[in-house]
A and B are shown apart, each in its own frame.
Chain A
Amino acid sequence: MFKNFGFMDQQEIQKIAVEALQRQEKQQSRQEEKIALIEEREATIDYGSAVFEEYTSDNWNDKVKKDRNIYNKFLSNIEEGEAVDKITLIIKDFLESAQSIYEHININPETYGFKGLMLDASEAELNLESQRIVDNFFNKHYFSLSNSERDKLYMEQSLSLAKEIVLNEEIEITEAMEHANKAIIVEKLLQEVNFPKPIYYRIQELMTSPLYGEIFEQEVLVDKWNKFKDKSNALSRVFAALI
Chain B
Amino acid sequence: MSTRPIDDVLLKLQKYVDDNNKEKQFTVQLEKLVRKVRLDAVGEFNKGFCMKFNVPKNEIIGIFGEVDSFGNDEINAAFIKQWEIPGVTFMYSDQYYHNLLLLINHGIKGKNKQLTEAAQLLMMIKLWNGRSIGSIKFCDPDVMQYVTTQMMNRKSLPNKYPNPFEMIVTHFVPTLLKKYSPNILRDSSQTKILFNQSFNRLRQLFRSDAIPDKATGAPRYRSGLQPLYFKAKEQGFRFSTMSATTGEDASITDALTSSGIEEQIESVTNYIIMNISPNYDKKFLDFVNDESTIKIGNIEKVIKAIHSHKYIDEVREIVELTFSRLGDTPKQKFCSPGFMKDVIKKKIISSKHTSDVIQLKGIADSLLEKILADKLDKQFSYNIWSNTQKSQWRRIIVYAIGYNIQKQVCYS
Instruction: Give me the interface of A with B, judged by CB distance under 8 Å.
Output: 42-43, 45-49, 52-56, 104-107, 211, 214-217, 220-221
> Are A54 and B391 CB-contacts (below 8 A) given A43-B381, A215-B295, A216-B295?
yes
Residues A106 and B384 in contact, CB atoms below 8 Å apart: no
Residues A217 and B381 in contact, CB atoms below 8 Å apart: no
Distance in angstroms from A216 CB to nearest chain B CB is 5
From A105, A217, A221, name the one whose CB has the most chain B CB atoms within 10 angstroms: A217
Q: Which of B16-48 contact A (CB under 8 A)?
A: none
Residues A216 and B294 in contact, CB atoms below 8 Å apart: yes
Closest to B289 in A: A217
Q: Chain A residues with Cβ under 8 A from B293's Cβ? A: 104-106, 216-217, 220-221
Closest to B387 in A: A49
Residues A42 and B386 in contact, CB atoms below 8 Å apart: no
Q: Chain A residues with Cβ under 8 A from B350's Cβ? A: 56
From B298, B388, B391, name the one whose CB has the most chain A CB atoms within 10 angstroms: B388
Sample of 30 A–B contacts (CB below 8 Å): A42-B379, A43-B381, A43-B383, A43-B384, A45-B384, A47-B385, A47-B386, A48-B386, A49-B385, A49-B388, A53-B387, A53-B388, A54-B388, A54-B391, A55-B388, A105-B293, A106-B293, A211-B379, A211-B380, A215-B294, A215-B298, A215-B380, A216-B293, A216-B295, A216-B389, A216-B392, A217-B294, A217-B295, A220-B293, A221-B293
Give the distance in Å from the alpha carbon of A215 to the alpha carbon of B300 in the complex. 12
Q: Chain A residues with Cβ under 8 A from B385's Cβ? A: 46-47, 49
Q: Chain A residues with Cβ under 8 A from B388's Cβ? A: 48-49, 52-55, 105-107
Q: Chain A residues with Cβ under 8 A from B295's Cβ? A: 215-217
Distance in angstroms from B389 CB to nearest chain A CB is 7
Give the interface SS of chain B, mostly helix, strand, loop or mixed: helix
Closest to A48 in B: B386
Residues A54 and B379 in contact, CB atoms below 8 Å apart: no
Instruction: Give me the interface of B with A, judged by CB distance under 8 Å.
Output: 289, 293-295, 298, 350, 352, 379-381, 383-392
Distance in angstroms from B335 CB to nearest chain A CB is 26
Give the distance in Å from the alpha carbon of A106 to the alpha carbon of B380 in the complex. 19
Closest to B296 in A: A217
Residues B380 and A46 in contact, CB atoms below 8 Å apart: no
Q: Which 4 A-B pairs have the closest CB atoms?
A: A49-B386, A47-B386, A49-B387, A106-B388
Residues B389 and A47 in contact, CB atoms below 8 Å apart: yes
Q: Chain A residues with Cβ under 8 A from B289's Cβ? A: 217
Closest to A52 in B: B388
Known contacts A42-B381, A48-B388, A214-B380; 19 further A-B pairs (Cβ under 8 A): A42-B379, A42-B384, A43-B383, A46-B385, A46-B387, A47-B385, A47-B389, A49-B386, A49-B387, A52-B386, A52-B388, A53-B387, A54-B352, A106-B293, A211-B380, A216-B295, A216-B389, A216-B392, A220-B293
Give the interface SS of chain A, mostly helix, strand, loop or mixed: loop
Give the distance in Å from the alpha carbon of A220 to the alpha carbon of B108 in the complex. 50
Distance in angstroms from A222 CB to nearest chain B CB is 12
From A45, A54, A215, name the one whose CB has the most chain B CB atoms within 10 angstroms: A215
Closest to B298 in A: A215
Residues A106 and B381 in contact, CB atoms below 8 Å apart: no
Q: Chain A residues with Cβ under 8 A from B298's Cβ? A: 215
Q: Chain B residues with Cβ under 8 A from A49's Cβ? A: 385-388, 390
Give the distance in Å from the alpha carbon of A43 to the alpha carbon of B391 in the complex. 17
Give the distance in Å from the alpha carbon of A102 to the alpha carbon of B27 in the complex. 42
Q: Chain B residues with Cβ under 8 A from A45's Cβ? A: 384
Give the distance in Å from the alpha carbon of A46 to the alpha carbon of B390 in the complex. 10
Q: Chain B residues with Cβ under 8 A from A221's Cβ? A: 293
Give the distance in Å from the alpha carbon of A52 to the alpha carbon of B389 in the complex. 10
Give the distance in Å from the alpha carbon of A138 to the alpha carbon of B137 in the complex. 68
Give the distance in Å from the alpha carbon of A56 to the alpha carbon of B391 in the complex. 12
Q: Chain B residues with Cβ under 8 A from A217's Cβ? A: 289, 293-295
Give the distance in Å from the alpha carbon of A52 to the alpha carbon of B295 in the complex. 22
Q: Chain A residues with Cβ under 8 A from B352's Cβ? A: 54
Residues A106 and B389 in contact, CB atoms below 8 Å apart: yes
Give the distance in Å from the alpha carbon of A47 to the alpha carbon of B392 in the complex. 14
Closest to A46 in B: B386
Give the distance in Å from the alpha carbon of A107 to the alpha carbon of B385 in the complex. 13
Q: Chain B residues with Cβ under 8 A from A52's Cβ? A: 386-388
Closest to A108 in B: B388
Closest to B297 in A: A215
Q: Chain B residues with Cβ under 8 A from A47's Cβ? A: 384-386, 389
Q: Chain A residues with Cβ under 8 A from B391's Cβ? A: 54, 106
Distance in angstroms from A117 CB to nearest chain B CB is 22
Q: Chain A residues with Cβ under 8 A from B384's Cβ? A: 42-43, 45-47, 211
Distance in angstroms from A132 CB to nearest chain B CB is 31
Closest to A206 in B: B389
Q: Chain A residues with Cβ under 8 A from B389's Cβ? A: 47, 106, 216
Distance in angstroms from B409 CB to nearest chain A CB is 29
Q: Chain B residues with Cβ under 8 A from A211's Cβ? A: 379-380, 384
From A54, A211, A214, name the one whose CB has the most chain B CB atoms within 10 angstroms: A54
Distance in angstroms from A136 CB to nearest chain B CB is 30
Distance in angstroms from B403 CB to nearest chain A CB is 20
From A43, A48, A52, A106, name the one whose CB has the most chain B CB atoms within 10 angstroms: A106
Q: Chain B residues with Cβ under 8 A from A54's Cβ? A: 352, 387-388, 391
Distance in angstroms from A103 CB to nearest chain B CB is 8
Give the distance in Å from the alpha carbon of A211 to the alpha carbon of B389 in the complex. 12
Distance in angstroms from B367 CB to nearest chain A CB is 17
